[in-house]
Structure 1
Amino acid sequence: MATTAHPAFDTDALRRGIEEHTASTLLSLYADDAEIRIVDRDAQPSHPKVVKGRGQIGAMLDDVYGRDMTHRLERCVVQGDHAAYVESCAYPDGVRVLAESMISLRDGKIAEQVMIQAWDE
């Protein structure tokens, strides 16, 4: 009996995009109709910030990865159609940001993402 292989999530592209500040590489990992829900001090769990589609997601990624700061992928775990990763960031003045994401995959692309982020104040 033959099995159909599903496209794998490209964790190497995730690392390159994050650590090399390449928004276009990161955007290539998202499905056309992807949605990101972001929870932080400004967007509480009952009213998360929602970013929909590659246009909005691309604009957000351009903003974040265009900033003068370092980004590092600390860990990434993929299991079936789900993945989770931790990203740590630092601004030149020492302010640090930590973001954790849980993602649902469809055909190897990110279809849904929930990101929880916190930063020094």
Structure 2
Amino acid sequence: MGTAAGPGFDGEVLRRGIEGQTAATLLSLYADDAEIRVVDRNTQPSRPMVLHGRTEIGKMLEDIYGRDMSHKMEQCVVQGDSAAFSESCLYPDGVRVLSESMMSLRDGKIVQQTMIQAWDE
């Protein structure tokens, strides 16, 4: 497990945001014009879910952090204007979710993120 910090973007703040109880800290890391592409069983690579801007991203994060589940950042690497992290989540009934994200950064904020996620079914 490693976390590197680059100028303007701090992997430990990302960890606190992911592992926190609300979406606020995590949302603060996104630029106003950020974009997230989500690829999973329901939104496959040819038709990913794409969210534009902090408002849409915030709605997704509020939904996620409104659920009864825990989040853990497993690993994070920050290098220059790029970052990547692995996250694991656990619902109380034992269902697990894993996600991998690759991000582009500008001025210490996330401007583009591609997230690939899988969960127990």
Residues 98-109 of structure 1 aligned to structure 2 (within 5 Å)? 98-109=98-109
Tell me, in whole angstroms, the C-alpha distance in 1 between the residues paired with 2:65 and 2:18.
8
Does the CA-based 8 Å contact 1:36-1:113 persist in structure 2?
yes
C-alpha separation between the residues in 1 aligned to 2:65 and 2:17?
9
Q: C-alpha displacement at 1:7, in angstroms?
A: 4.3
CA RMSD of aligned residues (A): 1.1
Following the alignment from structure 2 to structure 1, what is the Cα–Cα distance between the partners of residues 100 and 85?
A: 6
Matches within 5 A, 1:1-121: 7-121=7-121
Can you list the C-alpha shifts for 1:76-105, whole angstroms capped at 9, x where unaligned? 000100000000000000000000000000
Gaps of 5+ in 2: 1-5
- Partners in 1 of 2:67 and 2:115 — Cα distance? 19
Aligned-partner Cα distance in 1 for 2:20–2:109: 20
Q: Distance in 1 between matches of 2:33 and 2:58?
A: 12
- 2:42 alignment partner, SS class: coil
Gaps of 5+ in 1: 1-5
Q: How many residues align?
A: 116
**TM-score, normalised relative to structure 2:** 0.93
CA distance in 1, matches of 2:96, 2:88: 7
What amino acid is aligned across from residue 112 of structure 2 in structure 1? E
1:22 Cα deviation from its structure 2 partner: 2.4
Q: Percent identity?
A: 72
Give me the TM-score of the superposition, normalised by structure 1.
Answer: 0.93
